[in-house]
Amino acid sequence: MNLRGASPFLFGCFLAACFLAAPQSDAQTESPAPASGATPFEETIVPTFETQKLARTYVLDIPAPRGQITDRNGAPLAQNRLSYSLALNYPTPLDFSDAQLLSFAHEKIRAVEKLLGRSLKISDDLIKRHYRNRGVLPFEIVQNLSSTEYDAVKDRLPPAIALRPFYVRTYPNGKVAGQIIGYSGKTGRNPDGIIDNHEVLWPETEGREGLEQTFNQVLTGKHGEYKITFDQDGRKTSERIVTPPVPGHTVVTTLDLRLQELAEKSLEAKAKRGAIVMIDPNNGDILAMASWPTYDPNTFTPTISAERFKALQDDPDIPLLPRAFRSSYPPGSVFKVTVGIAALESGSVRSDDEFDCMAALQIGNTVMHNWKKTGRGPLNFVQALTESCDTWFYQVGIKIGADPILAWAQRLGFGMKCGIPLRGELEGRVPNDQYMKATHGRKLLNGDIANLSIGQGDCLVTPLQMAQAMAIIGNGGTFYQTRLVQQVQTVDNEIVTAFQVRAKKTLNASADTIEQLRTGLVNVVNGGSGTAHQASLENVDVAGKTGTAQWGPKTKERTAAWFAGFVPAEHPLYAFAAVYEGDVGANVHGGSHAAPLIATILKDLYKNKNANTKRPPRAERAEEDESD
């Protein structure tokens, strides 16, 4: 049931009235109403079994419907639906003996069991405890009727049995964006103690993960109040809504539901484990942030069994882990973009300077190899980036030293959190001398710098950080604050809080450096010696960089395959990063495993578009091993 635009008063009236309305005894039905203008006798006293027949008034809280979470276009990602329970209503006054009570309750429970076709396990102790402490309120005997069960009982309710409607959180798109939205759970079980004034009519829900948790306070809404009065003989004399509940606010995200679906479908079809992030480079908005495997947050509503939750926790592929922002990986050759900026901006390397792309290079006592087994001769920066020549970047990294690389990595947002409103975001790691001394007992050596220059060693990056960096390069150098939530608004669409687009800083790289990068990244996808041909489109230029990096202990070493970039190359609308997690010992590469993840999405986005942003035709591609 969609809550947008609905009346808060109707929420309270409907739920509270359905909750409390119950068949009453003949004595109550015949009891006279207060005379016109008279004030009913209302005296609030502590309700106990001994005071059941004294006049009293209860003021109970009506839980507010939880607010929605939507995508940028208003499509619901989290909303509410009506669910039903069956409850037993006791006649007033409450003067059953224990034997009479159990006889009455058992009869009604058997009638319900016959309608549902299943047995109900309700202890006599629970029946008696509810009757003595809170018999004026319905006693829930069946929770969360299935649609089949609801249809079976709705028109055949036995006397004294009522349907109790309540709102249950629902996620209409199933698994889609589940790790971002998170899930909610009940704050407690149905109470069975003495009624307290201002206790809620039924247990509320609270956010336990994701945006549900971060924005729990604004999603929760404001309680209403329901007053119910009994006379000195224990008969109900009045009930009314004093204050209607106010539904929780709506959280409007920056996500594009269609893009999120495309990203998750691509991962599901092509990766056992991995992540894809897509950002609007013109404002920093996160359009899609997908991790695989994932989970369906509907599994948690209204509750999840301990066995099912343990199965999720024990799954070796860790579906509860949002890899897009809570996992970090060595970036591999995608980090060569950072090294290229540092080299060109330092002035130590010009765009036309050439370094030998040899098959191997000795650094200290270690021989470090290119990913290709043969040398490629002298290459300039664009050529080296296109072919992803490791030995070229070893030489350039050592030539300029660690400091420029570390400084430009920071400017691109590596080594620090992006600042999204989700718990557990990792900051990644760009190793400096302090880290190396603390971890390895030494400062950065030339071998470490060479490793860093190809995104290996101790460097770690999240997929979100990688997409953010590509957005900065794609838009020409503006570092926008990455944004996941646009605004919080009332159910009537009045804005409560707006999270504005904000440019944090400027990269301050020269236009020539940005153009060199752009040309190299386009050649990676479209050039004859490029490593990402599988991401090429017919009608638009894709700019991107592949990367392949090993991580983990040697005995369980795995490979992270990357593809990151932006599209269209000249005036990008999307910046992206995809990482493919290989199994232990599996032979995976950025060009063969990560680039197709993005290609699947882009082909769908541009299948009916004539983007007219394709550069002039290039030379025929050579047969290359798209491995990096």
Q: Which of 202, 193, 278, 212 is closest to 78 using CA atoms?
A: 212
Closest residue by Cα to residue 292 from 557, 550, 558, 581: 581
CATH class of 8-253: alpha beta
The full length of the chain comes to: 628
SS3 state at 582 = coil
The one-character DSSP state at 200 is B
Can you tell me the distance from the alpha carbon of 465 to that of 38, in angstroms, rounded to the nearest whole number? 68
DSSP structure string for 92-139: SS----HHHHHHHHHHHHHHHHHHHTS-----HHHHHHHHHHHTTS-E
Burial class (CB in 10 A: 0-12, 13-18, 19+), 609: exposed
CA distance linking residue 389 with residue 409, whole number of Å: 20
Amino acid in position 289: M
The two three-digit tokens of residue 599, written as one number? 């290609």
Name the β-bridge partners of 250. Answer: 489
Residue for token pair 């202990």: 553
Fill in the DSSP letter of residue 329: B
Residue whose C-alpha is closest to residue 596's, from 528, 523, 536, 521? 536
Residues of the chain with pLDDT under 70: 1-55, 610-627
Distance of CA 457 to the CA centre of its chain: 30
Q: What is the pLDDT of residue 555?
A: 85
Coil, helix or strand at residue 62: strand
Contact 289, 321 (CB under 8 A): no
Q: What is the dihedral of CA 146, 152, 155, 161, to 10 degrees?
A: -70
Who contacts 113 (Cβ-Cβ below 8 Å, separation ≥6)?
A: 119, 120
Calpha distance 115→152 (Å, rounded): 7
Residues 6+ apart with CB under 8 A from 454: 332, 333, 335, 336, 390, 393, 394
Amino acid at 436: M
Dihedral angle of Cα 414, 420, 426, 432, to the nearest 10 degrees = 30
Q: What is the β-pairing status of strands 574-581 and 274-279?
A: antiparallel
Helices (H), 117-198: 124-134, 147-153, 178-181
Is the N-terminal amide bond of 302 cis, ω within 30° of 0? yes
**Are the CB atoms for 89 and 105 separated by under 8 Å?**
no
- Longest Cα pair distance anywhere in the chain, in angstroms? 103
Residue 534: CB atoms within 10 Å = 19
CATH fold of the domain at 257-605: Beta-lactamase (3.40.710)
**Within 10 Å of residue 376's Cβ, how many Cβ atoms?**
18
E strands, 442-551, are 478-480, 485-489, 495-498, 503-506, 543-551
- Please provide the DSSP assignment of 246-304 as one string: BPPPEEEES--HHHHHHHHHHHHHH-SSEEEEEE-TTT-BEEEEEEES---GGGGSS--
Rounded Cα distance, 332 and 251, in Å: 36
Q: Where are the chain's structural domains? A: 8-253, 257-605
pLDDT value at residue 5: 39
Angstrom CA distances, 117 to 111, 224, 313, stand at 10, 37, 34
Could you tell me if 607 and 553 are in contact, meaning their C-beta atoms sit under 8 angstroms apart? no
Angle at 373 between CA 523 and CA 576, to 5 degrees: 35
What pLDDT does 36 receive? 37
d(CA 97, CA 13): 34
Using a 10 angstrom Cβ sphere, with 0-12 exposed, 13-18 middle and 19 or more buried, the burial of residue 473 is: buried
Residue 608 has which token pair? Answer: 């009916």
Whether omega for the bond prior to residue 293 falls within 30 degrees of 0, making it cis, is yes
Predicted confidence at residue 51, as pLDDT, reads 44
